[in-house]
Structure 1
Amino acid sequence: MSVSAGGLRDQTGQTQGEMCDRFPLDTVCEAAKILTGASDPIAVMPSVLNVLSSFMGLQMGALALLDDKGGAEGGRLAVNPFVIAATTRGGVGTPGASGALPVAATRQVFRTGVALVSCDAVEELGPEAVPAGAPHNRFALIEVPIREQVHSPYVIGVLGAWRDLDEDCATNLDEDLRVLTMVASILEQSIKFRRLVARDRERLMEEARLALRAATDKAAAPATVPPKPIEGIIGDSPAIKAVIAQIRKVAATQTPVLLRGESGTGKELFAKAVHALSDRHDKPFVKVNCAALSQSLLESELFGHEKGSFTGAVAQKKGRFELADKGTLFLDEIGEIGPEFQAKLLRILQEGEYERVGGAKTLKVDVRLVTATNKDLETAVARGDFRADLYFRICVVPIVLPPLRDRLEDVPRLAQAFLDRFNAQNGMEKSMAPDAVQTLARCQFPGNVRELENCIHRVASLSSGTEITAQELACQQGTCLSAELWRMQSGEGSPIGGLAAIRPPLPVIDSARGQRPVVPMVPMPAPMPVQPAPAAAAPLDERARLVDAMERSGWVQAKAARLLGLTPRQVGYALKKHGIEVRKF
């Protein structure tokens, strides 16, 4: 792109009028998509500023935020100290005097909360008002305030951009002001939501810390007798002992518990243990598998329904919440519920009240909630598939159940317990040879405890004698599919529901400092090698990005080129290369 006496002209020879076209509605729409879909709106502001440049021609945009630490100038506290949190080149976190925005004008917007429009920045604000990297000094400046909340007098940031006065389309500064004001309003709401979520999370975490501290103090009191073993939980490994210790502590409180674990780790068993060790042990324990019911049936199942509320409702029915009153409700596979039902579930968790389906009477309930999942809820929250406020409500005390491969020392006791159960059910007296136990203790068990139980029942059913030997195990006869399942483990593509509770934590982005996120690595069991992806994957990704950009720009090649950082000629060549037919409207 070059600037000439005749106006702007790109590499394909597009005319000044064509390149000076503004797209205010598209600009606001694209900015809203970026800001509302980001967990950290400040971190994505460079993309928003580039949208303003591509769609509206507003150049050298920058975002200034108040410096909470308080800046100093010349040994004294600065008035309205601010930092440059983002520019079109990226998040920077540089001091306000770096030149991205004029200091005096920006402080005036911070102080008064009134938008500023300078038709000629150099003439009205001085030669230092234009950024050092500007091609010339003929620019108009537009700055708008970003408030703490709507109608608040407290200004927390300033959004500014520049309009080239040499352009023929530089006369309509009112439209530029309106677009910047709308983008600032969207940013205000995004920042407000992020602060509310962070505040709610801190409150819930503080409640969890206090609850665990009280439970620890209670557990530390001298006991005359050792605690009874928890029924159904077998194992002496350090991993299972740590989980049992957590269960004993949290069971004495009313704090919601989220059990995280791979499929087959016994989440329902540990949920029953939380109930049995609590002061609600003599009250109902009600369980619901959220993945086994549709969203409409799940609402009726949990909340109940009135007679005649829908076809087939021939009588009033109490919901599981009502049945679990004063007791414990266990919601398994909580990660499978849909967005609409998440809002309804959040209300009863916050207020303790609800209405039956088809009813108008508000009911109150006192329930201890225990949930479980093998899904990666953090990623689901980041994608917008799971409500952040519901996540913080249920994930007060997360307890990670270890997979069986992390406590192989418990395999002999578990195998014997499953064999004893099989013998009791079938009137047999079978036993396991030492070599069979040793073989089992070397398996990885991607299906965890459930797979071990199935393995014992299978070999006990098919063995010919009273003693089960290693040669009779499925893995020694080539009929065990566990090795193939383990080979197919690949994160989200896991065929057995591998859990994300042991995933690396989400990166924390410090937008004020402009640092890149650092994600700590968590050691994982080394899977068997998988086949490399075909070489055609990269072109497919390129084609998908091209189609996405064309759809977002209304199939206008010039706009798509701005989004992709290419020239219109390059976009046209790429469309022909991938055989994409340009849609006509």
Structure 2
Amino acid sequence: MSDLSDRSMEAVYQVSHCLAKSAKPQDTLKKILAILASVMDYRLGTVTLVDPESGDLLVEAAHAIKEENLKDVRYHKGEGITGVVLESGLPLAIPALKNDPRFLNRPAVYNPDSAFLGVPILEHKSIRGVFSFSVDGGERYRLDEHLRIATIFANLIGGVLSRYYLMEKEKEIISMEKDRLEGQLKGRYQPENMVGVSKAMRYIFENIGQVSRWNTTVLIRGESGTGKELVAKAIHFQSPRAGGPLIKLNCAALPETLLESELFGYEKGAFTGAEFRKPGRFELAHKGTLFLDEIGDASLSMQTKLLRVLQEGQFERVGGTETIKVDVRLIAATNVDLEKAVSEKRFREDFYYRLNVMPIYLPPLRERKEDVPYLAEFFLEKLSKEVGAVFTMDAESLGILQGCDFPGNIRELENCVHRAAITARDHGIRAEDIPCTRSQCYGRLIHLEAEKPAAREAEGDIRAIPNERERVLAALKKSGWVQAKAARLLDMTPRQMGYRVQKLNIKLETF
């Protein structure tokens, strides 16, 4: 094997490693040109791409050429050696630049005695640009071999561009659909920082818009992580009380004695350590809104005190006798089954009816999976702003996320996106970066651990099998090795099932 063949194989090896990393196409192209300069001695390599508006060739990436030399460089079709390659669609080798009248020396950095090679970059049979470089010394006498090798790398460059254009097209389609659906909602119901295009979310946006105009008590219900506090904020800031304070308190975060002091305040000397008068949350929320989270965890005695404030709009501070009147709108939230709590005498029935004037139910994320891609993109944009880097996620990754149940709901999805971003190379999230593809879906593991193994076995719930490979094998066996049926058993798409079969090295033909 010749020295040139050895070098070309080494270059292919290094370039393939470069392509395995997700990065911006311009960065990838620059790395490829640097590899070819180092291994193949291809000097002053450039990648020029067709400008879709003018049809001219513009420099996209270059190696060992200063940016100021490239600023105004462009080639019309048929202009210069590079333009001729674009026009003909054929590779071209010039033994000595000084002897070719087509040589324009743009940019003015080439050695006139050098050889010059230009190869078209093809993407789906269309010419996207030209890969060009110069060679010196003895390399000038092997131009045919260099031309064949350069064609290989031009094809690899075309693959980089094809992958990038496809990803950009998918992002554009998702963005257009998101803008279209959100455009229908903006100005009508959808609050800022609330993401969703599903029917369930449109109904919630409508409820928020309707109830915001009233002073009615609102009870927001839903599982943990569904966004109850976000809804409370949206109601407040769209209401006539938006200019007033929004005060928040978690009823489950404090013991009853401290909770009473926080809600109603206390007088100086009311208890040991009360060295001054302190207003409570109700006083602080005067002319505004008080949001009480986890209201279902309040004790019966606390419910009685809260009921009085709701009925009469007045209370006394702890250790005081002065009756204080307040004008406060109450928004409460809970993930407790209040109806069951009422029947078990753990929640006052009269307090329940006083709270449940306008209930808003937030569905879990598993019941509105069409919102998952939009939420994931929202969290990526938010993360990009926080760290000052642009994160992307390919369509396959979004599909995997859409197939997850997310027991922790939106909060778990956000954590999942953050973990994927941390492990992703070059800020591009791919399928293998999603935690659940590595059996690290923490929310799922927590819920599986909480279930009784005997009950799971009795129910025959394949989804409850902790080990991913065993879970997929069980679904395939139960479905007669039909991947589409197995996917339905695990709440996946056929594409996701196919990905797992390949990733877990399950040989279907051996069964």
Quote the residue 1:232 is aligned against. 193
Q: Is the Cα contact below 8 Å between 1:291 and 1:336 reproduced in 2?
A: yes
Kindly tell me: are residues 327 and 241 of structure 1, through their superposed partners in 2, closer, same or farther at Cα, counting changes over 3 Å? same
Q: Is the Cα contact below 8 Å between 1:488 and 1:530 reproduced in 2?
A: no
Shift of 1:418: 0.5
Measure, in 2, the Cα distance between the counterparts of 1:330 and 1:350: 17
Shift of 1:252: 0.8
Task: Indicate yes or no: 2:491 matched with 1:530.
Answer: no
Measure, in 2, the Cα distance between the counterparts of 1:226 and 1:374: 30
Task: Indicate yes or no: 2:311 matched with 1:350.
Answer: yes
Task: Indicate yes or no: 2:235 matched with 1:274.
Answer: yes
Task: Indicate yes or no: 2:213 matched with 1:252.
Answer: yes
Between Structure 1 and Structure 2, how many residues are aligned? 273
Output the amino acid matched with 1:315: F
Measure, in 1, the Cα distance between the counterparts of 2:246 and 2:256: 22
Task: Indicate yes or no: 2:336 matched with 1:375.
Answer: yes
Cα deviations across residues 60-109 of structure 1 (Å, max 9, x unaligned)? xxxxxxxxxxxxxxxxxxxxxxxxxxxxxxxxxxxxxxxxxxxxxxxxxx
Kindly tell me: are residues 297 and 359 of structure 1, through their superposed partners in 2, closer, same or farther at Cα, counting changes over 3 Å? same
Measure, in 1, the Cα distance between the counterparts of 2:355 and 2:266: 25
Shift of 1:295: 0.4
From 385, 393, 409, the counterpart of 1:448: 409
Quote the residue 2:247 is aligned against. 286
Task: Indicate yes or no: 2:323 matched with 1:397.
Answer: no
SS for the counterpart of 1:400 is strand
| More relative contact order, 1 or 2 (CA 8 Å, 6+ apart) | 1
SS for the counterpart of 2:225 is coil
Quote the residue 1:432 is aligned against. 393
Measure, in 1, the Cα distance between the counterparts of 2:443 and 2:286: 42
SS for the counterpart of 1:363 is strand
Task: Indicate yes or no: 2:226 matched with 1:265.
Answer: yes
Task: Indicate yes or no: 2:256 matched with 1:301.
Answer: no
Output the amino acid matched with 2:296: G
Measure, in 1, the Cα distance between the counterparts of 2:223 and 2:240: 29
Q: Is the Cα contact below 8 Å between 2:188 and 2:209 reproduced in 1?
A: no
Q: Residues 334-345 of structure 1: matches in 2 within 5 Å?
A: 334-345=295-306
Output the amino acid matched with 2:311: Q
Q: Residues 132-143 of structure 1: matches in 2 within 5 Å?
A: none
Quote the residue 2:132 is aligned against. none
Q: Is the Cα contact below 8 Å between 1:487 and 1:530 reproduced in 2?
A: no
| TM-score (norm. length: structure 1) | 0.45
Kindly tell me: are residues 228 and 240 of structure 1, through their superposed partners in 2, closer, same or farther at Cα, counting changes over 3 Å? closer
Quote the residue 1:16 is aligned against. none
Shift of 1:403: 0.8
SS for the counterpart of 1:371 is strand
Measure, in 2, the Cα distance between the counterparts of 1:253 and 1:528: 50
Q: Is the Cα contact below 8 Å between 2:189 and 2:209 reproduced in 1?
A: no
Shift of 1:270: 0.1
Q: Which consecutive unaligned segments of at least 5 residues does structure 1 have? A: 1-224, 491-526, 534-585
From 389, 408, 420, the counterpart of 2:369: 408
Shift of 1:487: 4.1
Output the amino acid matched with 1:359: G
Shift of 1:397: 1.0
SS for the counterpart of 1:530 is helix
Q: Is the Cα contact below 8 Å between 1:275 and 1:285 reproduced in 2?
A: yes
Output the amino acid matched with 1:428: A
Measure, in 2, the Cα distance between the counterparts of 1:252 and 1:354: 26
Kindly tell me: are residues 273 and 292 of structure 1, through their superposed partners in 2, closer, same or farther at Cα, counting changes over 3 Å? same
Q: Residues 200-211 of structure 1: matches in 2 within 5 Å?
A: none
SS for the counterpart of 1:291 is coil
Q: Is the Cα contact below 8 Å between 1:486 and 1:528 reproduced in 2?
A: no
Shift of 1:242: 0.6
Q: Is the Cα contact below 8 Å between 2:189 and 2:205 reproduced in 1?
A: no
Task: Indicate yes or no: 2:322 matched with 1:361.
Answer: yes
Shift of 1:382: 0.8
Shift of 1:466: 2.3
Q: Is the Cα contact below 8 Å between 1:371 and 1:394 reproduced in 2?
A: yes
Q: Is the Cα contact below 8 Å between 1:275 and 1:328 reproduced in 2?
A: yes
Quote the residue 1:328 is aligned against. 289
Output the amino acid matched with 1:472: D
Q: Is the Cα contact below 8 Å between 1:446 and 1:485 reproduced in 2?
A: no
Quote the residue 1:474 is aligned against. 435
Task: Indicate yes or no: 2:376 matched with 1:419.
Answer: no
Root mean square deviation, CA, Å = 2.0
Measure, in 2, the Cα distance between the counterparts of 1:437 and 1:406: 17
Q: Which consecutive unaligned segments of at least 5 residues does structure 2 have? A: 1-185, 460-511
Q: Is the Cα contact below 8 Å between 1:487 and 1:529 reproduced in 2?
A: no
| TM-score (norm. length: structure 2) | 0.52
Shift of 1:463: 1.7
Quote the residue 2:425 is aligned against. 464
Kindly tell me: are residues 478 and 321 of structure 1, through their superposed partners in 2, closer, same or farther at Cα, counting changes over 3 Å? same
